[in-house]
Amino acid sequence: MTKKYEQAGEVLDYTNSTGSDISAGDIVEMQNVVAVALEDIADTTTGSVKVTGVFRDMPKETGTAWVQGDELDWDTSVGVFGKGITPATGDITGCAIAAADADSADTTGKVLLARIPGTIN
């Protein structure tokens, strides 16, 4: 293995410069990638975020059902994953996949983060 290899890239160090503390389980927006905080990260400190894997109980838009495999977007203004949202400034489209079916009335769902670079609108 090359001496330049550092890590698998599933978990990254993230320096919180949001002006607010981040709690474990919160969504972290990193340009066109969405991650999940693995620990509490106080403002101006560094902590671990995971950019791959399946996460349960992720915030979901209501009014639209998901089928496993659907491409999902992150709506930054409301803080939910959605399917086929009308992108607004700052939303990250195509950044995740529905890991399981979800009913339209569900407020949470299973989401697969797979280092999918989305598009920032």
Domains, the chain? 11-117 (2.40.300)
pLDDT tens profile 83-109:
988 878 888 888 999 999 999 999 999
Name residues whose C-beta falls within 8 Å of residue 64's C-beta, 6 or more positions apart in sequence: 82, 83, 84, 104
pLDDT tens profile 30-89:
988 899 999 999 999 999 999 999 999 999 999 999 999 999 999 999 999 999 888 788
**Average model confidence (pLDDT) for the chain?**
91
Q: For residue 52, what pLDDT is reported?
A: 92
